[in-house]
Amino acid sequence: MNRPVNFSAGPSVVPVEVLETLAAEMVNYQKTGLSLVELSHRGEIYGRVHLETIALIRELMGVPEDYSVLLLGGGATLQFSMLPMNLLPTGKSADYINSGAWARKAIDEAKKVGGVNVIYDGASEKYTNLPDPKSIKPSPNAAYLHITTNETIGGLQWKVFPEFRGVPMVADMSSDILSRPVDVGRFGLIYAGAQKNLGPAGVTIVIIQNELLSESPKNIGSYLNYSVHAKANSLYNTPPVFSIWAMKLVLENIKKCGGAAAVAKTNMLKAAKLYEAIDSSGGFYRCPVNKAFRSDMNVVWRLRNENLEAKFFESSAIAGLIGLKGHRSVGGCRASIYNSLKEEGVDRLIAFMAEFSAKKG
């Protein structure tokens, strides 16, 4: 089957081998005669999938012993609220770095819960820049400091993380989790939805330092309480079993490819090629993001003549390249080139872009 190259931002490309395994095992899971999605989440068969998935996250991300890995529902969006509900007590405030559309959503939700300090605001530069990581210092009263490691809409990514002591750093890694090695020990909490680098939507990973679990207030809903999930090893209620199963297969795929470091090498290569194609187009294409912070996951660009963009999408779709439209809030073009998007896909895009500019330029 001739599948189009899928540059969608999320849900997004899943390795075809994973889709094939899911299809082959959907009706009869490992000769049990039943589908995994029909089996009790408290039973032995699903139980193994659950534990192996958590173990793979621990292994591939190098999660330290004193951290819990939670598998939750609600997307990263629920984490925008759940995080301050658990970790932002009355009398304290939380520091946020406003790096773009997703950071802003996190900020807006946190403000509903408690005090928020925006310690860097990229709005005046239209979110094309990030602060020098060395300049980041938490406020005296901060309960935590929040960053968005990759802005999916703006195409902006932290390459080096801020380093400070005394206040936990929290990261939304929704669109670059496991795309590169990360020192988890430098974060108090990491959260990420699965639907970009790790499989279908429906499951959200939360990695939390155990020390922080005691901070969760007792008077919030049980599902909203990190310590409830940690105590139950993410089986407090029915977990999204299908999404977790699919994520396990994607994680096995990452392991087979050599883990986060190997995947990062390919990701950087893919991104470098695509940025080079944009930068060397004589201005036909242009990327607005500061070179130091250009994302390896979501490459954004405009055409010099923005009126040609509709034609660009139409022709690229005919060429089998789909999902290249930028987010509706900003327009322009965006290629999401997550882990599972192969280098050949990027090569096809680059060839198409050259052909398009030659015809229209």
Residues designated as active site: 102, 172, 196
**Closest CB 214 distance from ligand PMP, rounded Å:** 26
Q: Distance between CA atoms of 152 and 300, rounded to whole angstroms?
A: 9
Residue 222 has a CB neighbour count (10 Å cut-off) of: 12
Q: Which is nearer to ligand PMP, 102 or 275 (CB)?
A: 102
Are 81 and 112 in contact by the 8 Å Cβ rule? The answer is: yes
**Shortest CB 361 distance to ligand PMP, Å:** 32
CB nearer to ligand PMP: pick between 175 and 281: 175
Spatial separation of the C-alpha atoms in residues 289 and 154, rounded to whole Å: 8
* Closer residue to ligand PMP, CB minimum distance, 201 or 322: 201
Please, how many CA atoms are within 13 Å of residue 255, restricted to the half-sphere of its CB?
A: 16
Between strands 156-157 and 150-151, the pairing is: antiparallel
Report d(CA 109, CA 79) in Å as an integer: 9
CA distances from 87 to 122, 193, 289 (A): 25, 20, 32
204 versus 281: smaller Cβ distance to ligand PMP: 204
Which tokens hold the place of 252? 């096995």
Torsion of CA 299, 301, 307, 309, to 10 degrees: -20
- The CB-of-157 to ligand PMP minimum distance in angstroms stands at 10
Closest residue to ligand PMP in the complex (CB) = 75
Residues lying near ligand PMP in the complex (CB under 6 A):
10, 75-77, 102, 148, 152, 172, 174-175, 193
Nearer of residues 193 and 288 to ligand PMP, judged by Cβ = 193
The tokens for 103 are 């950071």
Shortest separation between residue 8's beta carbon and ligand PMP, angstroms: 11
Nearer to ligand PMP, 151 or 309 (CB): 151
Least spacing, CB of residue 237 vs ligand PMP, in Å: 18
Q: How would you label 287-326 residue by residue, b for 16+ Cβ within 10 Å and e otherwise?
A: bbbeeebbbbbbbbbbbeeeebbeebbebbeebebebbbb
Q: Minimum distance from CB of 315 to ligand PMP (Å)?
A: 26
Rg of the chain (C-alpha set) = 21
